[in-house]
Each structure stands twice: as structure tokens, then as C-alpha cells.
Amino acid sequence: MAKHGKKFEEASAKVDRVQRLAFEQGLEVALGASFAKFDETVDVAIRLGVDPRHADQMVRGTVVLPHGTGKPVTVAVFAKGEKEKEALDAGADFVGSDELVEKIQGGWTDFDRAVATPDMMGTVGKLGRILGPRGLMPNTKSGTVTFDLAKAIKEIKAGKIEFRVDKGGVVHAPIGKVSFGVPKLKENLDSLMETLLRLKPATAKGTYIKGAVVSTTMGPGVKLDTAEIKAVKA
């Protein structure tokens, strides 16, 4: 069994590991248990009543968090011609076509998100083995393969996140920083929950959202009362 440090043990003592708390209260407890000297990220893990082995129950999507994630996002764009200028004007950090592909093939992946115009995907496809495992491959479903580069880049910079259910049926996502405070974090969490509810597969039976846990980077997890999902939906 893994051993935790003294500070983690002290933080864990502040958390009831069984009780499920309302979103606002749960966030307050999670923030109160944070102890790192840096501005920790606040993450949420949501267990869904789906079977990811079936394609029609694979839940994935994007959401623009009202208050962003609190983390600067570096965006690389695959485009050519006039679209390169559009990308730069919209705030892209790196823009290019064949030369950018070659740079990545050489081992460079110093960016957080990638966007590409549809006409570039034939070339970008060569990077599948590099970008795929890192979750950086542009794709239509997440809105990162588009000719509307300005919109895509601005949404990413504003706090658009991607999420995808894992093999265990859990969605992991960041919802901000400790410094945001409870009100902003709750608005971000509500937005994520609303999006997950809209994406509920028609073939999913029984309880859809089975559980949720919120935690800071270094802190213990706090269970949330999923009954509050009904209020979010309303």
C-alpha cells in the first residue's frame, strides 16, 4: 500500500471519505484541504454508467469552461497560405505546414493543443503515432479540424477542454485552479456536467452519472453528491 506524506495525511483528516457533498460544499472542502505552495489545479473524475467497449457508448466531447482552466495553452496550427496569417492573428503560438510536420517528426512536441485545416490532414496524418498517444491529434469531433481557425483558437485560449471516457467508464477533467475560489469553480463544474448530460448515449441504461470526485493536484479526493445533477439539468 502506498504511503503518503505527513501533509497529505493531515489534509485527508479534514475530509470525510464516505459522505457525498453538494457541489459547492465539496469544492469548499477540497480547497480547504489543499496544502501545496503552488496554485494547484482542481480536477474532477466522473464515473459514468456506460460501457466504453461499445462504440455507441463512447462519450467524448468538448466544453468551453466559463472561467477557463487557469493554465496558459500553447496552440500549434497546421495551415498554409492565407490561413497561416489568420491563425497568427487569432493568437496561435506556432503555425506552419510541411515544415511544422517535419519539426514534429524530429521529436518536437512543445505545445498543448493542435488545430489543422481540413486540406492539411493528409499531411498531418503522418503524425498519428506521435500526436495520437499524447492526445494532440486534431480531429473533427473536437472542432480542431476546421477552416474557421480564428474561432477554434480563441475557444481553446478561452478555456475549451476536451474530455473522453476511459476504459473504466471515467471522465477526468480540470475545472480550474485553487485561486479561482468556489463560485468560479462551481460554474465550470456545472458547465462540464451540463455537457456530459447532453452527450448521454441513447443506449446507456440505468444511472448515467454514478459518482464524482473532486480534488486538487496534491490533495485528497472529495466525493460529490450526484443527486445535484438534477438541479444542474434543470
Give the residue range(s) of CATH 3.30.190.20 domains in the chain: 16-69+160-233
pLDDT tens for residues 22-31?
999 999 999 9
Q: What is the reported pLDDT for 3? A: 60
Q: What is the reported pLDDT for 113? A: 94
Cell numbers for 147, please give them. 477552416
Cell numbers 478555456 correspond to 159
Rounded Cα–Cα distance for residues 180 and 72 (Å): 15
Q: What is the reported pLDDT for 1? A: 43
Closest CA to 92 of 104, 77, 81, 79: 77
CATH 3.40.50.790 applies to domain 75-157: yes
CATH class in words for 16-69+160-233: alpha beta
Q: What is the pTM of this model?
A: 0.82
* Contact (Cβ atoms closer than 8 angstroms) between residue 167 and residue 50: no
Q: What is the reported pLDDT for 230? A: 58
Give the residue range(s) of CATH 3.40.50.790 domains in the chain: 75-157
* CA distances to 35, 81, 99, 107 from 190, in Å: 25, 40, 41, 38
Walking along the chain (234 residues) 10 residues at a time, the average pLDDT comes out as: 62 72 93 91 96 92 93 95 96 96 95 96 94 92 94 93 92 96 96 94 91 93 83 54
